[in-house]
Structure 1
Amino acid sequence: MPYRISSSYTEASDYKGPILSYDKQPIPGSISICPSSLLFDKAITSFPLEIGEWHGMPAFPITSSNHKSDIPFDLLAGAFYLVTRYEEYLPHKPDKHGRFRFTNSIAYKNGFLEIPIIDIWAHQLAAAIKEKFGNSHSKHRSFTSQVTFDLDSAFAFKGKSIVRNVLGFAKSALSLEFSNAKMRLMVLTNKAKDPFDIYDELFGILPAGKATKWFIHVGSWGKYDKQVNTRSASFLNVINKLSSRYSIGIHPSYKTYLSDEYFRSELTKLVDILGQAVSASRFHYLRQSIPYSYYSLIRAGITQEYSMGYADKPGFRAGTCTPYPFFDLFENTSKNLKIFPFAIMDKSLLNIVRYDPNQALELVNRLVQVVKNVNGNFVSVWHIDYLARNHSDFSLMEILEKTIEMCRNEGKA
């Protein structure tokens, strides 16, 4: 929709078309929003955010108690607070990996983490504009989806060094996991398929091209980094198959968290393996500190970031299912880095699935539908090792297939 921003009350009053007034003194005939102080404050400070309702949906910060406004809250400030991750700049107690806890978020505390609240506000605002001024020229968008994978470890046994396999045998023996030791031996002697080698099965169900994206871990081995030897033939063969079918991004290792040096080294390594540029990233363990972790990405030329979500809780961390540009509160400016929020990760489904697989499917379906209702972008996150595990009472692979099918059914439910 074409628009113009004016700070002149006189000019705005003389305008004859649709107008949105963002002022404590509304323009006659406009749709009015009474502003809070958030978008005008120079400092990043904690302040009370009163939560109310608008058309049955949570709304904040409420501002119209002493002012007559068409919209009873500062919609622009609320959206800004969520997408900039303002609350993550404020003092908070991180988890053991240095990550922002979902329990600290305003969305979780007020029960709207599982809805893309900003997109819903935008639809309600568009409806208000249409009701007051007639049809607008807003651009219609369609529902889209992306299936994404973090390739933390390409294989269970293949592609690992002699030392790692010997240690693996020893661990299995000490823990009396003889079946695991037997499987390792059979794989290494080419008498059995590696348990994580489910790639051909995935190739048969995954959407082609950019609708599927793989984030590849090429960092060195460590406590939280378990990738196979990235120079091994088995690893290189898998990467070649993936890159010929799908879009590839980097999955920076645990220690790249705040390290330019480690990130650039791993990015160079992945580019050399692929023989092509890489523009997308998602941090291993979702280990990021906003905004500091983004600086390394921007300096290295990364333009797409996919870590915006919680590993242990489904929902919309930034309050939206729409990709948006990163805005740095410290510098008060947007950057050339687009954030792609995800709605669900397989890890957060596991405990639900173990208890009740149908409940897990209902959750996925509910999240897909709320994104479809606003014609947003539904992003899910999966891991080879979780999908490959055998469970007697449920199949995570089946849930992946049904998630893809839900997303293929275009349009609203």
Structure 2
Amino acid sequence: MLLIYTQKITPRIIYVFKHVCTGILGISIKFTTKIEEFIAHEGMKLSYGKQPLGKELFIQKVDLLTEQGFSEVEIKVQPWEDSVCFFSVPEASALPFDIFAASFYLLSRYEEYVPHVKDEAERFPVSESLAYQEGFLSSPVVDKWALKFRKVLEERFPDIEFQPRIFEANAVMAVENIFAYKNKGVLRSIAGLNRDLLQFNFNKVFDRIKVAFRVKNDPFNIFGELIDFIKAYRLKMFFMFQLSNFSIHDRNINYNRIPGRSVIKYVGDYAKVGLLQGYYAVRDLKSLRTEKIRMENIVHSSLEYVLNSRHDLGLPENYNNLVELEVHNDFSMGYPDAMGFRAGTCTPFLFYDINMEVTTPLLLHPYVFNSEIYEKAREEHVYAEVKKALNQVKEVGGTFRAIFKNQDFSEYSRPAVYYNLLKQIYEIE
């Protein structure tokens, strides 16, 4: 057990020390504000403050973790060994920067609370992020910092034992439409047929007719093939189905139709099933509750997993809505248009609400890769970029998570490329 002395124990300090020390390194910690207790402690101990008490292991702090709310923070990123760092401190500290304040800044998504320029979809764009601007988006810096901190602890406390880090990979399938043509209703089918004719998409016209007469399987219904892939290699995979009301933003099938419900139940027998939030469910609690109930009525179990279809974190309202409805796992922490580490980590972490200054029970599972990035890129480029990201995650023993769409594996996309990507991610020979 590592005893940590600090003059004031704040929710931010508890949150980030628990994540770095216990969540990543696997060591138990205890806090104290009593100098007498700290001095008398004969085991491992560390002080976190403005100056050391004596010759103990000391990390000098900046003020971020003792503040409340958010404000503009001046940050100067500097190179440090094979990584970068910010919130630098004098040489008296065991590390040249406040690792805990820097980790909190990234994990809490502090920069997404302060005023920023939004993209055309009203989202926080990657171009506004510190990691993108300073060139470390492709590195899981929080995990790297934690492992460097581990070396400091090992040097000071040779008998310390850490929890081993094991690399893991898994894919998440975002399913906006189970079917391309099947069960769309007469009016929608006629409208779609007319659109294809006007755009001279005659292959799709013929496909619509074949599907209608059951001569051909629906192109988007590739779940049987994916389940065969899962069973063949004994893989862990997640499928997120959209069950929102039909609107200008959400064009999924009616959640009440039997074929769609049957697919969800079938997939749930072999993989983890969750909810792909619709456009309105990201901001509206009532819509989210409705979609949650629909999914639970289909799978007959509590909803555990969600993915945001808009890739809009909606901080903190969206996450607080998930907390209120007792959803425990979110897979939306990433950028749909850039590969990398939005929160600087490839380790799941709890959501911290800066507005309320509380650690919530919602576990965030960051993703590294989104197939939307490389829909038109050359195969060689995609494989090379994924390999680089995989190596980054392997170095720290984290989790490489990738987001795909079921359409990626249909004949209208490049299924061979995406199956090869799955094999690359899961390291299948």
Q: Does TM, scored on the shorter chain, surpass 0.5?
A: yes
Distance between the aligned counterparts of 1:30 and 1:389, measured in 2? 63
Match of 1:177 in 2: 201
1:364 corresponds to which of 383, 386, 391: 386
Cα deviation code 1:288-317 (max 9, x no counterpart): 311111122111110111110011111110
Distance between the aligned counterparts of 1:13 and 1:392, measured in 2? 63
Distance between the aligned counterparts of 2:51 and 2:123, measured in 1? 42
Distance between the aligned counterparts of 1:171 and 1:225, measured in 2? 18
Following superposition, the deviation at residue 96 of structure 1 comes to 2.1
Distance between the aligned counterparts of 1:295 and 1:280, measured in 2? 15
Tell me the TM-score normalized by structure 2.
0.89
8 Å Cα contact 1:255-1:262 kept in structure 2: yes
Tell me, which stretches of 5 or more residues in structure 1 are unaligned?
none
Does residue 1:40 correspond to 2:62, yes or no? Answer: no
Match of 1:62 in 2: 88
Following superposition, the deviation at residue 280 of structure 1 comes to 1.4
Distance between the aligned counterparts of 2:414 and 2:278, measured in 1? 32
The secondary structure found in structure 2 opposite 1:113 is coil
Distance between the aligned counterparts of 1:131 and 1:43, measured in 2? 36
The alignment's C-alpha RMSD in Å is: 2.0
Match of 1:21 in 2: 47
* Gap change, CA 1:16 and 1:29, over 3 Å in 2: farther
Match of 2:323 in 1: 298
8 Å Cα contact 1:285-1:311 kept in structure 2: no
The secondary structure found in structure 1 opposite 2:268 is helix
2:122 corresponds to which of 89, 98, 120: 98
Match of 2:263 in 1: 238
Following superposition, the deviation at residue 145 of structure 1 comes to 2.3
8 Å Cα contact 1:209-1:245 kept in structure 2: no
Distance between the aligned counterparts of 1:300 and 1:11, measured in 2? 41
Match of 1:348 in 2: 373
8 Å Cα contact 1:146-1:212 kept in structure 2: yes
The secondary structure found in structure 1 opposite 2:310 is helix
Distance between the aligned counterparts of 2:356 and 2:296, measured in 1? 30
Distance between the aligned counterparts of 2:415 and 2:405, measured in 1? 19
Match of 1:140 in 2: 164
Structure-to-structure mapping, 1:90-239, within 5 angstroms: 90-206=114-230, 211-239=236-264
The secondary structure found in structure 2 opposite 1:235 is helix
Tell me, which stretches of 5 or more residues in structure 2 are unaligned?
1-26
Structure-to-structure mapping, 1:368-379, within 5 angstroms: 368-379=390-401
The secondary structure found in structure 1 opposite 2:334 is coil
8 Å Cα contact 2:60-2:89 kept in structure 1: yes
8 Å Cα contact 1:49-1:62 kept in structure 2: no
Following superposition, the deviation at residue 268 of structure 1 comes to 0.9
Tell me whether 46-55 or 158-167 shows the greater mean CA deviation: 46-55
The secondary structure found in structure 1 opposite 2:375 is helix
Match of 1:402 in 2: 424
* Gap change, CA 1:317 and 1:212, over 3 Å in 2: same
Cα deviation code 1:213-244 (max 9, x no counterpart): 11110112222212123222321221121111
8 Å Cα contact 2:408-2:414 kept in structure 1: no
Following superposition, the deviation at residue 61 of structure 1 comes to 1.2
